[in-house]
Amino acid sequence: MNKYQRFFIWLIALSSMVCVSWSQDTDAEGCKDHPMLSRMNNFYITECESNYDQVEMYINEEETQMIDGDKTYICYELQGEMKSPSRFQVRKNYIDALKKIGGTLLYEAEYDAVIKLVKGGKEIWTLLRVYGDGESYCLTIVEKKAMTQEVQANDMLEALNKDGFIALYINFDIDKATIKSESEPIIEQIIALLKDNPDLQVSIEGHTDNTGTPEHNKTLSEQRAKAVMDAVIKGSIAKQRLSAIGWGQEKSIADNRSEEGRAKNRRVEIVKK
Looking at 119, 144, 169, which one is the last position of a domain?
144
Mean pLDDT across the chain: 87
Identify whether 18 is part of a domain.
no
- H/E stretch holding 66 reads strand 64-78
Model pLDDT, residue 23: 39
Which of 144, 170, 200 is the last residue before a domain boundary?
144
Which of 61, 73, 156, 172 has the alpha carbon at shortest distance from 114?
61
Per residue in 219-231, pLDDT tens? 999 999 999 999 9
Determine, yes or no, domain membership for 8: no
Identify the domain boundary among 124, 144, 164.
144
Q: Are residues 170 and 109 in the same domain?
A: no
Q: Are residues 50 and 158 in the same domain?
A: no
Contact 93, 165 (CB under 8 A): no
Residue 20, Cβ density class (10 Å: 0-12 exposed, 13-18 middle, ≥19 buried) = exposed
Could you tell me if 113 and 223 lie in one domain?
Answer: no
266 belongs to a structural domain: yes
Does 129 share its domain with 206?
A: no
Type of residue numbered 67 = I
Q: Is residue 165 located within the same domain as residue 85?
A: no
Domain that holds residue 196: 153-272
Q: CA triplet 88, 104, 263: central angle to 5 degrees? A: 110
Task: Give the count of alpha carbons within 13 A of 31, CB side only.
Answer: 18
CATH number at residue 251: 3.30.1330.60
Indicate whether 211 belongs to any domain.
Answer: yes
Least confident of 6-20, 42-56, 155-169, 252-266: 6-20
Cα 116 to Cα 55, 142, 227, 262: the distances in Å are 13, 10, 33, 23
Phi, psi of 226 (to 5 degrees): -65, -35
The reply to whether 19 falls in a domain is: no
164 and 84: one domain?
no
pLDDT band at 10 (very low <50, low <70, confident <90, very high): very low
For the chain, the residue count is: 273
Compare 9 and 221 and report the one with higher pLDDT.
Answer: 221
Cα radius of gyration (the chain):
27
Q: How many domains does the chain have?
A: 2
| DSSP 8-state code for residue 203 | E
Please tell me the number of Cα atoms within 13 Å of 195 on its side-chain side. 13
Query: Mean of the pLDDT values across residues 21-28?
Result: 65
Residues 140 and 161 in one domain: no
The pLDDT of residue 257 is 82
**What does the pLDDT look like over 66-101, one tens digit per residue?**
888 889 999 999 998 889 999 999 999 999 999 999
Residues 6+ apart with CB under 8 A from 209: 217, 249, 252, 256, 261, 262, 263, 265, 266
221, part of any domain: yes
112 and 161 share a domain?
A: no
**Domain-embedded: residue 5:** no
Residues 78 and 119 in one domain: yes
Determine how β-strand 242-246 pairs with β-strand 202-207: parallel
Is 50 exceeded by the pLDDT of residue 13?
A: no
Same domain assignment for residues 34 and 78: yes
- Give pLDDT tens digits for 201-214: 999 999 999 988 99
Q: Considering the domain boundaries, does residue 53 fall inside one? A: yes
pLDDT of 15: 40
Q: What pLDDT digit, counting tens, does each position of 102-139 carry?
A: 999 999 999 999 999 988 778 999 999 999 999 999 99
Are 224 and 121 within one domain?
A: no
Q: Are residues 49 and 127 in the same domain?
A: yes
In angstroms, rounded to a whole number, what is the distance separating the alpha carbons of residues 143 and 68?
A: 8
